[in-house]
Structure 1
Amino acid sequence: MRFLVVSKGQDTKTAILDEAVGLASRVGFNALTIGQLAESTGMSKSGLFAHFKSKEALQLETLERGRERFTDLVIRPTLAAPRGIARVRALTDNWLVWETGALQGGCVFVAGSIEFDDQPGAMRDALVRNQRDWAEFIETVARTAVSEGDFHSDLDVEQFAFRLQGLLYAFHHMVRLLRDPKAPHHLRAGLDQLVESARA
């Protein structure tokens, strides 16, 4: 057992949720419990229960904390990149940092989507909102590339986002399940082909 260390400027609940995000990445949301989180943080179950009144509340707040971290690691750095194709590539690069460096078990949204795709309820609804927001963000980045003249004017940005998401999720599958060392090469090659097909 280890004890939770709260850094200066970080409140206790945020630190707890960061630990929970890491756990959800490794074991999934369904296996994420207050008891397991207590063991991981060195806190008491009663202390954690004061923060989260139920397993579902813990899951939802963990997902929301994951969204905040995703925004910091992927969304904001992508928006800071130059508009156009450079921003499309930055989006992919930043997602790779999230997938391979931020969390030991990879993207919690991919993991959660697999767990809850057929389970109606608050978690599924929250995951749907997150995934729709992500798809819309990709579409916006592609639309910006159109307005910059990098992509052709009649590009179907919805289809572009669909194809790019397919590449990212295939990478997750190849790395996490298949442990395929060629996954980065296949992702880069797929992105190059997608960008070339969209060029003005």
Structure 2
Amino acid sequence: MENYCNKCGAPLADYRCEACSHLAFKFDYARAAYVFKTPAQELVYHLKYSDIRSPAVFFSQALMSIPAAKRFRGNFDLVTAVPLHRVRERDRGYNQSELLGRALAFELGIPFSQPVIRRQNTRSQTNLSRQARLDNLSGAFTLRRGANVGGQRIIVVDDVFTTGTTVNEVSQVLKAGGASRVAVLTATRAV
């Protein structure tokens, strides 16, 4: 038995954490490869801001080694990533979560697709409270025109799970579009 919340993946001793008993997460399941502290925190920083892309492969392989990974192979139809707004992606040169998602899709042998877009260039979530994060991301994501996720079982990938706001907003868009199941996998988890 894993010692994680059955819903959000927070480390704990019980079946479901206190936060999940009060929050209405739209995703069905979440896990992270590492806790967001050094050295994993430094690897995320380099992946995100230093144009060092190799941590994406490292984290995807780490995600494949978690005990729950056996459930992913053959039980999901596609992998997607939390999208960046086109302005931020142009400035950075790439989307670190997409790199991680593509590497994970390769490991799982399932397609990578980006059915969700970020229509608002929101400010960074880094130093925001839970409520400010919710306000910041409200309505920020939408399904790409022509995207069909009806009945799909989808893995959403991101670099850091802090409050779950970002991955929850993406999951909500996917579920509203008809996705039957949404799991969240992140490189790291803030605790």
Say yes or no: TM over 0.5: no
From the CA coordinates, give the structure whose radius of gyration is larger.
1
Judging by fraction of residues, say which structure has more helix.
1
What TM-score do you get using the length of structure 2 for normalisation? 0.31
